[in-house]
Amino acid sequence: MNTGSHDDRFDAIARDVHASALDALSPRTRAQLQLRRRASLQPAPAPRLRTLAWPIAAACAVAALAIGWQLRGPGRMPMDAPPAAPMVAANPTVDDDGSATLVLDENPEFYEWLASSDAAALAME
pLDDT in tens, 68-110: 888 876 655 555 555 555 555 555 566 666 665 655 556 777 7
Q: Are 30 and 22 in contact (CB under 8 A)?
A: yes
Report the pLDDT value the prediction gives residue 88, as an integer from 0 to 100: 53
Q: What percent of the chain has pLDDT over 70?
A: 64
pLDDT at 1: 47
Number of domains in the chain: 2
Contact present, 125 and 119 (Cβ < 8 Å): no
**Domain range enclosing 28:** 10-39
Within-domain flag for 56: no
Q: What is the pLDDT, as a whole number, of residue 97?
A: 66
pLDDT band at residue 44 under the 50/70/90 scheme: confident
Residue 50 belongs to some domain of the structure: no
Task: Give the residue with greater pLDDT, 34 vs 71.
Answer: 34
SS3 79: coil
Residue 105 located in a structural domain:
yes
Is residue 38 predicted with pLDDT exceeding 60? yes
pLDDT class for 12, splitting at 50, 70, 90?
very high
> Which of 33-37, 38-42, 57-61, 110-114 comes out lowest in average pLDDT?
110-114
Q: What is the pTM of this model?
A: 0.28
Between helix 117-124 and helix 108-115 the angle, nearest 10°, is: 70
What's the DSSP call for residue 122?
Answer: H
The answer to whether 63 and 50 are in contact (CB under 8 A) is: no
**Cα(92)–Cα(73) distance, integer angstroms:** 36
Beta bridge partners of 94: 100
